[in-house]
Amino acid sequence: MSKGLRTAFLVHAVLTLILGLLLFLIPGRFLLLGWHPIDAVASRLFGAVLLALAWSSFRGWQATQRSQVSILVEMEAAFTGLASVALLRHLLTGYYPFLLWILFAVFLAWAVVWVYFLVRKGDE
């Protein structure tokens, strides 16, 4: 497995772990950055999703062969790509806080990373 893919898994694991813990444990306090109303149930569920993704990225980082993580890379690309489309749909139809634009940019950047490694799979 390439060093770039291993690095992507490690960075993704750390970032999603931090964000997932914040959303899971303190969604109200964390999301009081201009985002109202706050749905604590949906926020905690999204935090749980991010924690699961952090765990799978950690496991991807531990893997030694590309074949062990192929499906994981596909799932990450699908999730981040669909999340980008979903956020963009809302961002283009109304006024939303700048924080949501940043979240969109982060999802889009990760979608590009995962698609890059998905397309490059034959090169490794």
Residue range 53-66, pLDDT digits in tens:
999 999 999 999 98
* 67-88: pLDDT as tens digits: 899 999 999 999 999 999 999 9
Q: How confident is the model at residue 122 (pLDDT cuts 50, 70, 90)?
A: low
Q: What is the mean pLDDT of the chain?
A: 88
Q: Which residues contact 4 (CB under 8 A, 6 or more apart)?
A: 117
Q: Is 32's pLDDT higher than 60?
A: no
SS3 at position 1:
coil
For the whole model, what pTM was predicted?
0.85
Question: DSSP of 53-115, one letter per residue?
Answer: HHHHHHHHHH--SGGGTHHHHHHHHHHHHHHHHHHHHHHTTS---HHHHHHHHHHHHHHHHHH
Compute how many other C-beta atoms are within 10 angstroms of the C-beta atom of residue 57.
Answer: 23
* Mean local confidence (pLDDT), 20-46: 75
